[in-house]
Amino acid sequence: MNLGLRGQISIALFRTDGVGDAILSTACLDFLSHLDAQARVYWISYEPISGLIEKSYPDAIQIRINRKRTNLQILKEISEATGELDHVIDLKRSSRSVFLCSQLSRIKKAQYHTWNKQSITRSLMVARAFFRKRKSNRRYKQNPILRYQMMLDCLTRAIDIQASSNSLPSIPVLKNDPDIPLQKPLNLKWISVIPGGKYHLKRAPIQTFQKILQEVLDRSSEKVIFLFLGDKDDRHVAEELINTIHEKGVTKNLCGKYSLYQNAQILSQCDLSLSNDTALAHLSEAVKTPVAMLFGPTVEEFGYSPFLHKSRAFSVPLGCRPCTKGGAGHCRYKDQLCFQQLDTKEISSFILDQLN
C-alpha cells in the first residue's frame, strides 16, 4: 500500500444524496477505521448524511457542501478544505460527482477512482421484465453482489488492500448517551415499523403491513411495542396503519420527530425492523438490528438485499419485477401484485422466531 511521503494515507470520500446508498457506503469508513496504517479521511456530503457521519465517525473530517451552489463554487470549497490527498474516491458517480472528484484529484495530484454502480445492468433488467410481463418462471440470485460490496471494492482496489469479510456498513451509536430520545424498558420487545419510502411504488400497501402486525400481536407471547419510523411525509401513512390495529397502546408514531442519528439510536435498541426497501432498513442493519425487508417493484439483485445473517428479504417471483430502477413511477397493472402476493404468515412467523 502506498502511504505517501507523510507516512499516512489521505483519502477523500465523496457521497452526497441517496441516503440509503450513503448508509451502505459506511462500510468504507468502517474498513478505514480498522486499518493498521494511519489514515486521514475526508467525508464530502450533503445533510442529513454529514450530520449522521459526524456523530458516528468523529475522526473523519466533514466537508458539507451546498447542492444549490455551482460546480465551480463547490470545487473551490472542497479544494480549500482538504489538505494533500493520495486518493479521491467517488462513491456517487453522477455527472456532478465525476466532474468534482476528477477535478479535485487533478488539483491535488491525487488518484481518482469511482465504482461500478451497474446502472446499465439494472436498466436491462427492467426492460426484460417489461417484455416478460407477468410470467412467473423467473428465479432470483440467492446471493447477489451487494451495493456496499461494490463501493468497498472500489476503495480497496484504490489503496491495494484486501477488505476483511467483517467490513460491513456500520453506524456506531452510544446506547448510554444521555441525549438518546427513547430508552427501551427491559420487559418489552420493540419492533420498528418503516412503512414509508421515497417513492410511493416501493411502499407495501397498508393492508399488507396490517396483516403482518396483527398476526404478530395475536401470536406473540411477549409484550410487543411497534415504533413507526420515517420522515414527516411518512407520518400520515403510519397514522393510517395504526388506526387499523385492534390493540391499543402498542404503537408509537415517531415519524418526522427525530434526526437520522436519533433514529439510529432508537433502531439500535429494537429487536427487529419490518421495512420496505428503503434507507431506514439499511440504517437498522448498520446498527446491528436485523430486518424483515419487503421487496416489490425492485429486486434483490439490485444489491439492496439485507446483509446481516439474521435478516431476510421477502418477495414473490413475478415476471414483471423489476418494473423500475429505483422505485419511481406507477404499477402498470394498477394492483401492486408484487406486494399483495407476499405471504404475511411467513413474514410474521419469521418476526416471531426472531423475537424468541
Domain boundaries, the chain: 9-159, 189-355
Q: What is the mean pLDDT of residues 27-47?
A: 91
User: Which residue type, as a one-letter code, is found at position 201?
Assistant: L
When pLDDT is cut at 50, 70 and 90, the band that residue 198 belongs to is confident
CB 149 within 8 A of CB 116: no
Please tell me the number of Cα atoms within 13 Å of 155 on its side-chain side: 29
- Helical axes 95-108 vs 71-81, angle rounded to 10°: 40
Domain covering 9-159 assigned CATH 3.40.50.2000 in the classification:
yes
- Could you read off the pLDDT of 126-151 as tens digits, one per residue? 999 999 888 765 665 555 789 999 99
Q: Which pLDDT value is given to residue 179?
A: 81
If you average pLDDT over residues 190-204, what whole number do you get? 94
Q: What is the pLDDT of residue 1?
A: 38
Q: pLDDT digits over 64-112, tens only?
A: 999 899 999 999 999 999 999 999 999 999 999 999 999 999 999 999 9
The whole-number pLDDT of residue 300 equals: 92
Per-residue pLDDT for 118 more than 60?
yes
The pLDDT assigned to 35 comes to: 83
Task: Dump pLDDT digits (tens) for 206-263.
Answer: 999 999 999 999 999 889 999 999 999 999 999 999 999 988 889 999 999 999 999 9
What's the confidence (pLDDT) of residue 247?
87
Q: Would you call 44 helix, strand, or coil by DSSP?
A: strand
Domain 189-355 fold: Rossmann fold (3.40.50)
Asked whether the predicted pLDDT for residue 6 surpasses 70, the reply is no
Q: How far apart are CA 69 and CA 51, in angstroms?
A: 19
What Rg, from alpha-carbon coordinates, does the chain have? 21
**Domain 9-159 shares a fold with domain 189-355:** yes
pLDDT averaged over the chain? 92
Question: CA 344 → CA 204, 215, 336, distances in Å?
Answer: 12, 8, 15
What average pLDDT score do residues 286-306 get?
Answer: 95
* Torsion region of 324: left, alpha or beta (phi above 0 gives left; psi -120 to 50 gives alpha): beta
